[in-house]
Structure 1
Amino acid sequence: MKGLDNLRNTLAWSWKGLSKNTKEKEDGEKEALVQYDILLPNERSFHHAAKRNNLDIMEQLVEEKVNINAMNSMKRTALHFAVGGNHLSAVDFLLNHKARVDIADKHGLTVLHVAAWSGNLEIMLMLVKAGADQKAKNQDGMTILHFAAQNNNVRIVEYLIQDLHLKDLNQQDEKGRKPFLLAAEKGHVEMIEKLIMLNLLTSEKDKEGNTALHLAAKHGHTSVVEMLITQWQEINEPNEDGETPFFLAVAGGHKECSKLLLDAGSDVNISNNNNITALQIATQNGHIPLVTFLLSEDIVLDQKAEQDSPLHLAVANNHISIVNSLLGANHNVDALNQKQQTPLHLAADLGNVELVDTLLKAGCDLKVVDKQGKTALAVASRSNHSLIVDMIIKAERYYTWRQEHQGSCYDSPTGPALTFKHDHTLEMKQIRFCLWKLAYCQLKAQEWRKLARSWEFSDAQIKAIEEQWSGSESSCEHGHRMLLIWLHGILMRRENPMKHLYEDLVNAGFPELAGGTSVNGRGQGKELLSLRPYTTVKRAFIWGSYSTSEVHYLGDFGQVT
């Protein structure tokens, strides 16, 4: 049962918070807009006067024999509005003129319910003296004690229990909630203290299996949680969905509540009925501080294969910071979900460059196949993500080289920073231009395949490159992409790309492309690369093809002469 919103200042008096459900709230608001249709003009004026505590108008209309108990379309009377507005003089006027106190509106709300919610003890005393039903319930089964507890009206609760001795009002509503649970849900510390003092504390559950601790934790009421854990024996008690108070606090993103509950003995690894853990829900919701907090505790990272692991969820929801945190905590980068997909499969299918680069740098297994028999490379190719395809091929070639040269001088921590993203550095701009010229102006259609095989590109890698069709110049684009993939490997090995390109073109049967001129596939004479070994970079600098920074950069490879 939600709280009554804008009770004192809405002209339409929609009474949202005291209606049974969302649909009824909406219906009530719509009805409120046409509520005067069934009122006579003087009755409409009388309601307006009651809302504004205008006694002069009210007296004038009473003298004109207005029906003071006239109801609008929501079955609310002038007394409802006077009580809801805390208008003491208007309430007194209406009661003195025998206004009825037993009328309930369409949601079962009597004026005593409204008084308990509004918290005006004087009006409550007047209504009780006038004979209002103290045990009436609304459609949700809520009594005046529920309303007073829900809106933190401590004086009303004291009056009901200590003066009127109405402890029998402490019963469950239609949702199975006693007043104590409603106060906990709203985070009313003062009310919780008062109810405990009046011996109205309860560990009973509502119909969803939630205790007061569950409800306070769910809504992040730290002070209430701190009070309740001293009264609770079973801190890990689940509700009907298998959710503990700790799980609900994490699901709501409430870090302080989560810490309190953990210190009180909560188990961080208890999953709900859907086998979802607190870490998974925090990851899915992107609560970075909570994920960091959970990873610092005794959290179990291994997940059952029938569901997405935290790493899968972080990837699927594009939470790159959480992905890094999980990998830093040694989460299995090759964890499998129910479709036998690794996190890389998901990232490749989404085409997310940053996530794919992060997972590739973490050393994930690139050979894992999902239930459809597809690797991450095949998934990226199927989804037409050419950038991802190229990144995965770079990683396959890089890690193959690393495995073959473990412990060698090539495996140096002083090399270029590892990344599989497209290179945009200024130092390599001229080299990239040379490779573009080779692909688009000098290699004939499909000749790039011969060069690729000489560089030990696999059939699967060549096929993956070719699957991205871009029109009549697709062959040129495919060759260019292949050359950039090759360049990545050369740079990671800290070798001279110009020297290697010259030698490899000669060895692959393209000596005319390494130096001299030829006629390309379009029948046009083109000046080709002049890639004489050892002197190329230095000569290119003298000719103005390379900048000083490019020469120094390539000079680090030890090949400038």
Structure 2
Amino acid sequence: MNTLLLSAWFGHLRILQILVSSGAKIHCENKGGLTLLHCAAQKGHVPMSAFVMEDLEDVPLDRADKLGRTAFHRAAEHGQLEALELLVGSGCDHSVKDKEGNTALHLAAGRGHLAVLQRLVDIRRDLEERNVEGLTALHAAAEGVRPDCVQLLLEAGSCVNALTQKKQSCLHYAVLGGSEDVARALIQAGGHANVADHQGASPLHLAVKHNFPSLVQLLIDAGSDLDATDNRQQTPQHLAAEHARQDIAEMLLVAGVNLSLRDKGHLLHRDPRDPSGKKVTFKQDRRQERQQFYSVLWRLASRDLRPHEWKKLAYCWDFTEAHVHAIEQQWTGTKSYQEHGHRMLLIWLHGVATAGENPSKALFEGLVAIDRRDLA
């Protein structure tokens, strides 16, 4: 950065004028390719930008730096609305892309500059313009965890289910960013929860892998396929077990049992976004009348059931192989069957309670079904 560029960077117009009058070369640039106009636009120095464009000779509006970004890109990327307006009024190229294929819309959305983004939408930039990786501005806003920008772009008509080169949706990026707000906005706008990326991973797979329990819950409520497999033939339940996500594994198991009951007609099918339906929660019921039942279940698992009988009960109650496998991954050792059985019984109890069934009656019938009438 020479003295001329530093003057533009810090907005010292009078110093710049003195340097220019003394013969400084106005077409200088730094190692990154930033010119006087880049510096002034990026820092939002409007009088400086106006002087460079209007009073200096042969200053190109659309000269690109080493990243392929013009002053228009720089103003958008750094949220400089007045500088952007000046460049638009001076006739700069709105559609130019940088070397990664990003337009000013991508940069403003990814950085969360709402006012600049609104102006770019107003001048009718193409909302579905893609960069070299296939990301739209909506992808960029989701990736940058910018809920306000996501909402603005959705309201402007951005395609919520656009896919990148790697077949990743905006919802994939929201989950990778760990943003419940962005994910909820996308789902409410019609975002599909069961899209598989190039590795076969759904948003639910990613939420489990990166340990975002609130997003797992949101995606379950949105109707995510709990049995979807990625390219390694791993379901979300397998991933929860593999990465020791015990709380998430329990959430998936409970949701899986509830879905089995619902399919058999014990629960009314409902829209997961319908607030009038029962919401699945994962907090233990602390009511006094339930405490005795918890004690019975612990005694049953730790003392009364033989090592493989908890599995017989699980299959009797429509647990799947994946459910059983996920439970077994959580503990090891010669006595681990006691913990496995206890966890299975707690999950079963939650499903029965959600279905509105009598747990005592259901437990009796289950024990009878596995030939343990003595325990029943």
TM range (shorter): 0.7 to 0.9
Is 1:183 the counterpart of 2:41? The answer is: no
- 1:240 aligns to what? 132
The one-letter amino acid paired with 1:120 is H
Distance in 1 (CA, whole Å) between partners of 2:94 and 2:163 is: 26
Alpha-carbon contact 1:209-1:238 (below 8 Å) kept: yes
| Residue matched to 1:83 | none
In structure 1, the residue matched to 2:28 is 136
Q: TM-score, normalised by structure 1?
A: 0.53
Question: Which of the pair has more CA radius of gyration?
Answer: 1
Equivalent positions of 1:363-382 (< 5 A) are 364=256
For 1:418 and 1:211, how far apart are their aligned partners in 2? 42
Quote the Cα distance in structure 1 between the aligned partners of 2:310 and 2:60: 85
Partner of 2:241: 348
SS in 1 for 2:165: coil
CA 1:427/1:145 → structure 2, altered by over 3 Å: closer, same or farther?
A: same
Which residues in structure 2 correspond to 1:98-109 (within 5 Å)?
A: 109=1
The amino acid of 1:338's aligned partner reads N
Q: Within 2, Cα distance between the matches of 1:246 and 1:466?
A: 38
- Once the two structures are TM-superposed, the CA of residue 166 in structure 1 deviates from its matched residue by 3.6
Are the counterparts in 1 of residues 331 and 340 from structure 2 also a CA contact under 8 Å?
no
| Alpha-carbon shift at residue 231 of structure 1 (Å) | 2.3
How far apart are the structure 2 equivalents of 1:496 and 1:240?
60
Aligned pair partner of 1:264 in 152, 156, 162 = 156
Contact 1:176 1:206 in 2 (8 A): yes
Give, in angstroms, the shift of residue 207 of structure 1. 1.1
- 1:327 counterpart SS class: helix
Contact 1:255 / 1:289 at 8 angstroms: preserved in 2? yes
Aligned partner (choices 226, 229, 244) of residue 336 of structure 1: 229
State the partner residue of 1:85: none
AA of the residue aligned to 1:356: A
| SS at structure 2 position matched to 1:168 | coil
Q: Aligned match of 2:46 in 143, 154, 160?
A: 154
Residue 494, structure 1, aligned to residue 358, structure 2: yes
In the alignment, structure 1 residue 228 sits paired with structure 2 residue 120? yes
Letter in 2 for 1:245: A
Match of 1:327 in 2: 220
- 2 CA distance for matches of 1:255 and 1:457? 43
Query: 240-249 or 264-273, which moves further after superposition?
Result: 264-273
Aligned to 2:98: 206
Which residue among 79, 84, 89 is the counterpart of 1:192?
A: 84
After superposition, the Cα gap between the structure-2 partners of 1:312 and 1:271, relative to the gap in structure 1 and judged at 3 Å, is same
Are positions 1:285 and 2:177 aligned together? yes
Letter in 1 for 2:63: Q
What one-letter code is carried by the residue in structure 2 that aligns with 1:135? H
Aligned in 2, Cα 1:120/1:423: closer, same or farther, shift over 3 Å?
A: closer
1:295 shift after superposition = 0.7
Q: Could you tell me whether the CA contact under 8 Å between 1:357 and 1:421 is conserved in 2?
A: no
CA distance, structure 2, for counterparts of residue 304 and residue 245 of structure 1: 21
Gaps of 5+ in 1: 1-108, 365-394, 408-416, 515-530, 532-561
* Per-residue Cα deviation, 1:326-382 (whole angstroms, up to 9, x for no partner): 2222222222211222212212333333322322232x3xxxxxxxxxxxxxxxxxx
Amino acid at match of 1:204: V
Paired-residue identity, %: 31
* 1:382-421 matches, cutoff 5 A: none
One-letter identity of the residue aligned with 2:129: E
Counterpart amino acid of residue 251 in structure 2? T
- Cα distance in 2, alignment partners of residues 488 and 269 from structure 1: 34
State yes or no: 1:448 paired with 2:306.
yes
Q: In the aligned structure 2, how far is the partner of 1:135 from the partner of 1:470? A: 73
RMSD, matched Cα: 4.1
| Matched-pair contact (CA < 8 Å) for 1:490–1:496 | no
Q: 1:196 to 1:421 in 2, by over 3 A?
A: closer
Match of 2:273 in 1: none
Gaps of 5+ in 2: 268-278
> Residues of 1 paired with 2:54 and 2:312: CA distance?
93
The one-character-per-residue Cα deviations of 1:138-171 (angstroms, maximum 9, x if unpaired) are 2222221211111111111221222223433641
**1:450 and 1:508 in contact (8 A); partners too:** no
Q: Could you tell me how far 1:433 is from its partner in structure 2?
A: 6.4
Which of 9, 12, 31 is the matching residue for 1:120? 12
Normalised TM-score (structure 2): 0.76
Q: 1:454 to 1:257 in 2, by over 3 A?
A: closer
Q: Secondary structure at the match of 1:187?
A: coil
How far has the Cα of 1:465 moved from its partner?
6.5
Q: Does the 8 Å CA contact 1:160/1:166 hold for their aligned counterparts? A: no
Q: Is residue 254–residue 348 contact of structure 2 (8 Å, CA) maintained in 1?
A: no
Query: Alpha carbons of 1:161 and 1:257: their partners in 2 closer, same or farther (altered >3 Å)?
Result: same
Q: How does 1:454-465 map to 2 (within 5 A)?
A: none
Question: Which residue does the alignment assign to 2:204?
Answer: 311
Conserved 8 A contact 1:361-1:419: no
Separation in structure 1 between the aligned mates of residue 329 and residue 210 of structure 2, nearest angstrom: 30
Contact 1:226–1:260, Cα closer than 8 Å, also in 2: yes
Which residue in 2 is equivalent to 1:111? 3
In 2, Cα distance between equivalents of 1:324 and 1:481: 23
Q: Distance in 2 between matches of 1:161 and 1:466?
A: 66
User: Is the CA contact 1:315–1:347 (under 8 Å) kept in the aligned structure 2?
Assistant: yes
